[in-house]
Structure 1
Amino acid sequence: MAKQKSSVSPAMRRTTGEKVYNVFNIVLLSVFALICTYPFYYLIINSLSDNNLSAAGEVTWWFKGFHLQNYKDVLALSGLGRAAWISLARTVIGTVLTVLASAYLGFMFTQKKMWARSFWYRFVVITMYFNAGLIPMFITMKNLGLTNNFWVYILPAVVQPFNIILVKTYIESIPNSLQEAAEMDGAGTLTIFGKIVLPMCTPILATVAIFSAVGQWNSFQDTLIYMTDDKLYSLQYLLYTYINQASALANAAKANAANVAALASAATPTSIRMTVSVIVVLPIMFVYPFFQRFFVKGMMLGAVKG
């Protein structure tokens, strides 16, 4: 009898070495993923556990004495809602303007008809390596009337050389024939940018949006330097001050505890730090998965050319 041919194609067959290699990769990457995610998990379980056990370092893998009092205490802090709106506004507005500026400048630096294109491109890039320093920057912002002004969060961060380089490199990978065809049909520079180039740059613009949003959301030093009006404090700066005052806040919470059961959920410096860290990190953690697929593609394509 003739031997029956195997229904498995050669491409589907895997050698023992390939199987071992795949298993090794899965195990290694799983361990690496666990190492990356455990610090966030540790913050969450400690912020939701018995504060005395958390302060003693006894909460490592699962909740002990589950409660939500820490979040109730932190969310009840004065000025938190207003600061959250400031951070949200600066993140949204700053990200939109940064993405638009990076897209347009990256596009213009690919146009050979732009006057002194090489000079202006190098002029922008050199700012990545040199800056005037903190004091001249503060004097400049003060002379421009941007101290104690919401726009000091936005305007200095709109033009980012690294983002422009990413977008420029990505646009250079788009076939020139598309732009040439549009020019033959009478399209101008802005029309080509808005209707042809911009829709094709979604991956790299999503990457720029992630960089900008994370930077805006996490920033607190600009508040420290430029702001004295507490109505313009960002959420991160406000929570930064609360972390520094954690001991005083914890003592106040214990003083208000009426019984032994309440003492278990009374704030400690450790619980306040854990809770504040979770509040700061969670919004970005929820946003990132929606941009992750664009982020990977944008970074790969934006790094093909120099």
Structure 2
Amino acid sequence: MDEERKVGRIKPFDVINIIIMIIFIFIMAYPLWFIIVGAFNEGKDYMRGGVYLWPRVWTLDNFKAVFRDRSIIGAFAVTVAKCAVGTVTSVLFTCLVSYGLCRPNLKFKKIYVPFIMFTMFFGGGLIPYFLLIRSLHLYNTFWVYIIPSLFNVWNMIIIQSFMRELPEALNESAKMDGAGEYRIFLQIILPLSKPVIAAIALFTIVGHWNSYFDSMMYTADVSLQTIQLYLKKVITDPSVAAGMGATAARVVPDAAAKITAQSVKLAAMAVTALPVVAIYPFLQKYFVKGMTIGAVKG
């Protein structure tokens, strides 16, 4: 009887943990919710203030103003292509390096690893890196988003710790059946590494999606700008947001009386944030599994 009471009793430590987690969730989630609320609220009404938890006057005109702008559509397309190509190539290349460094018969492995780890802590700086990009003829090309991000040392460490826990007997049995290293990698190692690959893919997608510095520094063509760089312009330059509202006003009846620069900014922020938020639930299962396995067994 006493044991049942102990089991059913809530400890003060658990109560404190629950309260702290609720506060933490609110702090993390409310800014995004505040942006969404402002994006769906009429701009002129939003300027009166007091819109915090729910839109007071519902409207879609703010989003119409965003999607009427061809520049943001182009930036959105560039970012999607960057995320798709960059994630696939980066994950595949990093997995190849990780698998190679896991093999016990790799020659000169003791030389490769220190050089790879050195690049994780030390770099040449922005100006030498910019000169390198220009000398490789990557400046102002789409490939400046892809080639420099092909390999990530931290991602390699996570993938490597996962692959080391795979049974070596799998490789030996596959070799006895005549399989080569590439076939073993593609048909055995990669399928078994789905959890950690999903986790790294999520990291890479978010990194590519949120990146604006590479677009700002290494491209000059407006057609190559990413969605985050365009969002930066919308937030920091009032004329850009005002121009988006003016464009929508020419197409949407009475839009000029409902849209403001601030409401357009909030709608643009919501458009750039929601795709990544929507992707996460589909990768959450693999993400959690991949990270916990790498942390416990690595």
| Structure 1 length-normalised TM | 0.87
Say which of 111, 118, 122 aligns to 1:130.
122
Shift in Å at residue 83 of structure 1? 1.6
Letter in 1 for 2:277: M
- In 1, Cα distance between equivalents of 2:15 and 2:25: 15
Shift in Å at residue 253 of structure 1? 4.2
Shift in Å at residue 24 of structure 1? 5.8
- In 1, Cα distance between equivalents of 2:182 and 2:246: 62
Shift in Å at residue 123 of structure 1? 1.3
What does residue 81 of structure 2 align with? Answer: 89
185-194 or 39-48: bigger deviation: 185-194
2:110 pairs with 1:152: no
What does residue 177 of structure 1 align with? Answer: 169
2:221 pairs with 1:221: no
What does residue 36 of structure 1 align with? Answer: 28
Shift in CA distance, 174/66, structure 1 to aligned 2, threshold 3 Å: same
Say which of 278, 287, 295 aligns to 1:295.
287
What does residue 92 of structure 2 align with? Answer: 100
- In 1, Cα distance between equivalents of 2:223 and 2:173: 52
* SS of equivalent residue, structure 2 residue 127: helix
Q: How many residues align?
A: 294
2:156 pairs with 1:164: yes
- In 1, Cα distance between equivalents of 2:41 and 2:11: 42
Shift in CA distance, 257/283, structure 1 to aligned 2, threshold 3 Å: closer
Alignment of 1:56-75 (within 5 A): 56-75=48-67
8 Å contact kept, 2:66–2:244? no
8 Å contact kept, 2:65–2:248? no
What does residue 113 of structure 2 align with? Answer: 121
| Structure 2 length-normalised TM | 0.89
Encode CA deviations 1:62-92: one digit per residue, 9 max, x unaligned: 1111111111112112322222111110100
Letter in 1 for 2:189: V
Letter in 2 for 1:65: V
Shift in Å at residue 255 of structure 1? 11
Letter in 2 for 1:79: S
8 Å contact kept, 1:86–1:232? yes
What does residue 266 of structure 1 align with? Answer: 259
- In 2, Cα distance between equivalents of 1:121 and 1:208: 20
Shift in Å at residue 185 of structure 1? 2.6
* SS of equivalent residue, structure 2 residue 295: coil
* SS of equivalent residue, structure 1 residue 148: coil
- Structure number with bigger Rg: 1
44-53 or 100-109: bigger deviation: 44-53
Say which of 28, 44, 68 aligns to 1:76.
68
- In 1, Cα distance between equivalents of 2:177 and 2:153: 33
- In 2, Cα distance between equivalents of 1:198 and 1:205: 8
Structure 1 residues without counterparts, runs of 5 or longer: 1-5
8 Å contact kept, 1:243–1:276? no
**Greater helix fraction, Structure 1 or Structure 2:** 2
8 Å contact kept, 1:243–1:272? no
Encode CA deviations 1:47-73: one digit per residue, 9 max, x unaligned: 111324434541111111111111111
- In 2, Cα distance between equivalents of 1:280 and 1:56: 26
Shift in Å at residue 276 of structure 1? 1.6
Letter in 2 for 1:246: P
Shift in Å at residue 21 of structure 1? 6.2
Encode CA deviations 1:7-30: one digit per residue, 9 max, x unaligned: xxx9x9862435776666555534
* SS of equivalent residue, structure 1 residue 303: helix
Shift in Å at residue 118 of structure 1? 2.4
130-139 or 74-83: bigger deviation: 74-83
Structure 2 residues without counterparts, runs of 5 or longer: none
Q: Superposition RMSD on alpha carbons, in Å?
A: 2.6
Identity %: 33
- In 2, Cα distance between equivalents of 1:264 and 1:39: 26
- In 2, Cα distance between equivalents of 1:15 and 1:264: 61
* SS of equivalent residue, structure 2 residue 66: helix
What does residue 224 of structure 2 align with? Answer: 232
Shift in Å at residue 246 of structure 1? 2.3
What does residue 3 of structure 1 align with? Answer: none
